[in-house]
Amino acid sequence: MQISEYFPVYQKLTAEQQAQVDHFATLRSIQKGTVVHDASMGCTGFVLVRSGQLRTYMLSDEGREVTLYRLFDRDCCLFSASCMFSSLQVDVTMEAEKDSEIWILPASIYQQLMNESLAVANFTNELMATRMSDVMWLIEQIMWKSFDKRLAGFLLEESSIDGSEVIQMTHEKIANHLGTAREVVTRMLRYFQSEGMVKLTRGTIELTDIPALTALTNS
Amino acid sequence: MQISEYFPVYQKLTAEQQAQVDHFATLRSIQKGTVVHDASMGCTGFVLVRSGQLRTYMLSDEGREVTLYRLFDRDCCLFSASCMFSSLQVDVTMEAEKDSEIWILPASIYQQLMNESLAVANFTNELMATRMSDVMWLIEQIMWKSFDKRLAGFLLEESSIDGSEVIQMTHEKIANHLGTAREVVTRMLRYFQSEGMVKLTRGTIELTDIPALTALTNS
């Protein structure tokens, strides 16, 4: 499968532009845990996921994290090419959560396409709108949803992504996703366990009452 | 002053497109407190501020608010035209904080321009990037900045917007900006007063030690 089958506006490019994408996009195989982009790297480029799973998060001065959104097969990310926009002052980190294959198109090439092609410019607008919706959803969660509901929702999402009722993830890692401290996660998980909603063992969390977790997150 | 002098990409439009903007943009004079846009209104259109001050905020199911960003002279807002983007699922409310004059360009016209003109499409990208930066800054504040620092920063910003060391605003209103409860604001303002940083009277907050407030917000 070539980039032509993954890049959503490829068919709307001129032959010359298509040749540029083919030539300049590099396919990288990255292992779980690899940091693909962070603030220190400057402008990594436009990222398009062929397969795998990546996490985009913000990092505080004190090293705390909060997940902004995940990328799966065929998802694109612009924040790793934020230098293309003079108004975008955003530092995010992107890390592979599973072994992944991604295409990277240099920011200068993507920017040139954006300046030449209406299709690319408006595709970029839609992509920006998607990320904006993700981030606004996150604000709602942080501002107005109590932590038990957020944690229940996160466990259900993880279970759904992995297609398994057993989640293999440390409490520390969950805390990083949700932007809180490990102790807070551990305390709430123990409460969930006492209510029969999960079963905890070292390194795993088994969801034992999905209807109850679903009711909690939607309450 | 006509819209041609305010709309940043006007000069890059064709004569026909310029005529459309001139024809379809309506200038509205709105009083302080007027809600220009909210979720119930659907797609209000692209907003361009001629003069005044507006606030864009999110509203929770329980009626709590948090300010996303402010609009001043020459600022534009896309969220009041979110129907233009299939991926933008965002409900915001826009309210005049001062008597204001705004142009509204119907979403259908703006969308047509965006689909015809590279300049408009890429201007839209930059505008989206600006709002994204505002919103990401807000997440950092909410997640990682203690409330005393956020409140000090808010008072300094208000003082700077109004060019006055006396802020005329209720504690309720401040709570709505910052997404918290009135009691929390009142308690912290009393603490600031005890430290000599502000002087409280009914309906006003006088900043009496700006260097101390600045040091606090930057600490």
Angle between helices B182-194 and B171-178 (to 10 degrees): 110
B195 token code pair: 């430290």
- 8 Å CB contact of A133 and B88: yes
**A159 and A207 in contact (C-beta within 8 Å)?**
yes
pLDDT for position B24:
97
User: Mind listing the pLDDT tens digit of every residue in chain A (219 residues)?
Assistant: 799 999 999 999 999 999 999 999 999 999 999 999 998 888 889 999 999 999 999 988 888 889 999 999 999 999 888 888 888 878 899 999 999 999 999 999 999 999 999 999 999 999 999 999 999 989 988 888 889 999 999 999 999 998 999 999 999 999 999 988 898 899 899 999 989 999 999 889 999 999 999 999 988
Convert the pLDDT of each residue in A72-89 to its tens digit. Answer: 999 999 988 888 888 887
Helix (H) or strand (E) holding A100: strand A100-105
- 8 Å CB contact of B64 and A143: yes
Of chain A, the end-to-end C-alpha distance in Å amounts to 43
A63 token code pair: 């090293």
Residue A8 is given by DSSP the state T
* Partner residue opposite B126 with nearest CB, options A60, A85, A137: A85
* Partner residue opposite A90 with nearest CB, options B64, B85, B132: B132
- What does chain A come to in residues? 219
Q: How far is A208 from chain B (nearest CA, A)?
A: 30
Output the average pLDDT for chain B.
93
Distance between CA B197 and CA B210 in Å, rounded? Answer: 7
Convert the pLDDT of each residue in A184-193 to its tens digit. Answer: 899 899 999 9
- Strands A46-51 and A198-201, by their bridges, are unpaired
Residue with tokens 């932590």: A147
Instruction: Report chain B residues touching chain A, CB-CB < 8 A.
Output: 58, 60-62, 64, 66, 82, 85-90, 114-118, 121-122, 124-133, 135-140, 142-144, 179
pLDDT for position B96:
97
* Partner residue opposite A143 with nearest CB, options B131, B142, B144: B142
- Compute CA B101 distance to the chain's CA centroid, rounded to the nearest angstrom: 15
- CB pairs < 8 Å spanning A and B: 117
pTM metric for this prediction: 0.86
ipTM of the predicted structure? 0.84
